[in-house]
Amino acid sequence: MPVAEPGVDGALDVVIINANIHTMDPHKPRATAVGIIGNRIRIVGDTDKVLSLAFDRTKVIDAKGKIVLPGFNDAHVHFLDGGFSLANVNLRDAATPEEFEKRIGDYAKKLPKGKWITGGEWDHEKWPGTPLPTKEMIDALTPNNPVFINRTDGHMCLANSLALKLAGVTKDAKDVPGGFIVRDPKTGEPTGILKDAAMEPVWKVMPSPDADERMTAAIKASEYAASLGVTSVQDMSAGRDVDLYMALADHGQLKTRIYGMNPILRWEELAKNGVRAHFGSDMVRMGGMKGFADGSLGSSTAYFFEPFTDDPKNTGLLGEQMFPEGIMLKRVLGADKAGLQVMIHAIGDKANMEILDIYRQVVAQNGQKDRRFRIEHAQHLRTNEIVRYGQQQVIASVQPYHAIDDGRWCDERIGPERSKGTYAFRSLLDSKAVLALGTDWTVAPLDPMITIYAAVTRRTLDGKHPNGWVPEQKITVEEAVRAYTLGSAFAEFTDTKKGSITRGKLADIVMLDQDIFTIDPVEIQNAHVVMTMLDGKVVYERK
């Protein structure tokens, strides 16, 4: 190899050769090699050409034919919560109430008196008969530890009696707009299940983690993301955690690029401080405002036009941020005019329609510009609203794992006819909407291979839909990867910097152990990342 001094133009720092590269760049979709200088991609082409530009000091990575992709960009996570969840009690796969109780009891034995038990990610839909858990199931196991453990969707939690007492949630407590206290039908006493806004009293009395605990959780989350090939995340609940992420980035401890969202309730504060959409560095950015229109399907709080099939008196809950009437429109108008990006959680069909209506009014009043409005989840849609996503250029930020999870019981909840517009990935793409893929971690696993598997196969977790639930809404592996890379980058205004393996873009690259484009789609969930590169540096290698 020729010799060159570091920093000399054209002296490649790293080359990846003999690779099966899917660039996600429509102008050059395939290649076998990539060359990197510093943290940028310098050349994308064939192995002989790229290798001819290598020097003695160039690090050569021989992919030996493996698949190479842009780093995955998870468009919807709760990153710090994810870090904490790695150490919390794990209830996600507790298949019976008895297993649920045992895990909580075993976990409580390891804790000092007074230590809160949180996290959990339980799912009663996996239990025979799908009963909701109650405080009586865990009170005797946790007499000295307040418990507040969330369902996988985060829209309802179970509190034990001690936690309810500390929060002042009694038989006399009133329901609030956007929230619901589940009560014993005979006694009127709270069962321990609190939905959406009704959870607030408990959140208020829970102690906040200290600085060291938060730092540890963030580092764990970043290392875990790197192990899965996730090089960027969009943290829907970052808030003031952005300062923590910036400190980690300054000390070289962050292995994940983070776009941190703030609650839309804070839009005026951010606007006054000069924050605008995608404000910050390549590592840590802010300027996105997250709002809520309704709850979730699993908690029966998603907001629909028609009642739930299994609960004829319930059409769901319009979120508390939608009250008083008209307030969300004012918030979105103000945030958009200030140059902030707006993204609203909407699950039910009526919630989606109301947010699309708000977005249309804002465009009419504030004028045309590159604003990239988003709807998070875009879960249950009527045909009219699917078409509007494309017409209004609203980004659909979707989480395919929810489809194979909820698909086990969704038809019972809303009926098969409404289910046809559920997780409508194919129809949304056909409407010319941009899809941005994510997981909603910790609600769902962070692993992109499971997400792609879900989008491509739609095989429900219970094995009852081997050909896919609502199979007409499947998308291809190519479309799923593109939505997970370039689509997610577009959703955060960084598609000119990342999302494809293109000359001049950031060198965020992953290598897989299997060719997910050619193997049986059912096997995609078993593929693994063998190398993750961020800024041209290897941040994870599979042992």
What are the pLDDT digits (tens) for 461-501?
A: 999 999 999 999 999 999 999 999 999 999 999 999 999 99
From residue 83, alpha-carbon distances to 86, 135, 224 in Å are 6, 26, 8
Instruction: Answer yes or no: is 68 within a domain.
Output: no
Q: Are residues 111 and 238 in the same domain?
A: no
What are the pLDDT digits (tens) for 327-346?
A: 999 999 999 999 999 999 99
Q: Are residues 193 and 280 in the same domain?
A: no
DSSP letter (8 states) at residue 322: G
pLDDT of residue 253: 95
pLDDT of residue 85: 87
pLDDT of residue 461: 95
Q: Are residues 307 and 397 in the same domain?
A: yes
Q: Is 372 exposed, middle or buried (0-12, 13-18, 19+ CB in 10 A)?
A: buried
Instruction: Answer yes or no: is 15 within a domain.
Output: no
Q: Are residues 201 and 246 in the same domain?
A: no
Average pLDDT of the chain is 95
Q: Are residues 101 and 227 in the same domain?
A: no
- CATH number at 287 reads 3.20.20.140
Instruction: Answer yes or no: is 239 within a domain.
Output: yes
> How many Å is the maximal CA-CA distance in the chain?
84
CB 538 within 8 A of CB 68: no
Instruction: Answer yes or no: is 21 within a domain.
Output: no
Show which of 137, 172, 205 is a domain's final residue: 205
DSSP letter (8 states) at residue 526: G
Nearest residue to 328 (alpha-carbon basis) of 265, 237, 275: 265
Q: Are residues 253 and 192 in the same domain?
A: no
Instruction: Answer yes or no: is 76 within a domain.
Output: no
Q: Are residues 314 and 418 in the same domain?
A: yes
Instruction: Answer yes or no: is 119 within a domain.
Output: yes
DSSP letter (8 states) at residue 484: I
Instruction: Answer yes or no: is 407 within a domain.
Output: yes
Show which of 170, 205, 240 is a domain's final residue: 205
Q: Are residues 307 and 362 in the same domain?
A: yes
- What is the tally of structural domains in the chain? 2
Which H or E run includes 118? strand 117-122
Q: Which domain does 102 fall in, by range?
A: 93-151+155-205
Q: Are residues 180 and 272 in the same domain?
A: no
Q: Kindly give the parts of the chain with pLDDT less than 50.
A: 1-8
Instruction: Answer yes or no: is 145 within a domain.
Output: yes
Reported as half-sphere exposure (CB side, CA atoms, 13 A), residue 349 has a value of: 21
Six-digit token pair at 354? 């109301």
Nearest residue to 63 (alpha-carbon basis) of 23, 22, 29, 20: 20
Q: Are residues 103 and 224 in the same domain?
A: no
Q: Are residues 256 and 176 in the same domain?
A: no
CB 354 within 8 A of CB 322: yes
CB 47 within 8 A of CB 18: yes
- CATH number at 174 reads 3.10.310.70
Helices and strands of the chain, counted as H and E runs: 18, 25
pLDDT of residue 7: 41
Q: Are residues 310 and 368 in the same domain?
A: yes
- The three-state secondary structure class of 195 is strand
Please enumerate in sequence order all residues whose Cβ is within 8 A of that of 441, keeping only pairs 6 or more positions apart, or say none. 74, 77, 78, 79, 82
